[in-house]
Amino acid sequence: MEFVKKIKNRKTMPFFSTGFTLIELLVVISIIGLLSSVVLSALNSARAKARDATRMASIRQIRIALEMYRDKYGGYPDSTGCNPTGIPSYWCTSASATGGTRWLKDSRSGARGSTGSLSEFLARDPLDPNQVADLSGVIISSNFQYYSNDAYGGANNNWYMIVFVLENPPNPLELSDGVLTPGGAFFDYGRTVPCYQPAGLYSCQTSQGTENRNGIITLGQ
């Protein structure tokens, strides 16, 4: 009789499902999607910061090599005609480097007796981590840009500037960058004046204007 009672009790016990309801599944999927987007955003930010750190290290190498070049040859490399296939031609741009070729060049190498590049001081000319082969004429892009000649009071190439872009602004360097030439002209391509366009180049010769937090950095000597 006890056995029969147990069987009857089992028949009257309610049935509980061990699966998930549709609402529960949707909630779990939403949480997973939210966590994935947060992790992906943090990962992309970390990658951008790593590329910016690489850019800063590369620019530091270039600037040291430029000083060594000037000490030996009496002036910084002259960028005039450095990029004859693009506009403007008086800028050296890493966009012109293909297959490991040099993009930092000196148009006065013959008079100075140099090799015409920084090969004595740099094993290779650094490239931007997001390097693109863009010679369309826009100075600011995912490349390094170098400029130096006798203009703006710079006799014998005694000044230069390098322009590059950081991916992860704002950056404290944006508030202290800019180059003042020996002739008194001031260049800061991160300001509101669109001086990075070749047609508006001369409008950039002023220290006035609001600094944009756009990642565009202008450094030089």
The alpha carbon dihedral of 104, 156, 65, 187 has a sign of negative
Q: Is the pLDDT score of 78 beyond 70?
A: yes
Question: How many structural domains comprise the chain?
Answer: 1
Counted residue by residue, the chain has a size of 221
Lowest mean pLDDT among 10-14, 152-156, 196-200: 196-200
CA separation for the pair 125, 97 (Å, rounded): 9
The pLDDT mean for the chain works out to: 78
Does some domain include residue 196? yes
In a domain, 4, yes or no: no
| Residue 1, domain member (yes or no) | no
Its domain, for residue 126, covers 23-220
pLDDT of 194 above 60: no
What is the C-alpha to C-alpha distance for residues 165 and 145, in angstroms, rounded to an integer?
A: 10
Quick: pLDDT tens for 12-34: 555 555 667 888 888 888 888 88
Residue 103, domain member (yes or no): yes
Does residue 56 sit within a domain?
Answer: yes
Please, which pLDDT band fits residue 200 given cuts at 50, 70 and 90?
Answer: very low
What pLDDT is recorded for position 134?
Answer: 63
pLDDT at 196: 42
> Residue 69 — very low, low, confident or very high, per pLDDT cuts 50/70/90?
very high
Residue 63 confidence (pLDDT): 96
- Is pLDDT above 50 for 73? yes
Residue 38 has pLDDT above 80, yes or no: no
pLDDT digit string (tens) for 124-135? 999 998 887 666
Distance CA 19, CA 25 (A): 10
Domain contains 5? no
Reported pTM:
0.75
Q: Please list, residue by residue across 3-24, b when 16 or more beta carbons sit within 10 angstroms of its beta carbon and e when fewer do.
A: eeeeeeeeeeeeeeeeeeeeee
Q: Decide if 99 is inside a domain.
A: yes
pLDDT at 1: 53
Q: Which residue has the higher pLDDT, 73 or 214?
A: 73
17 falls within a domain: no
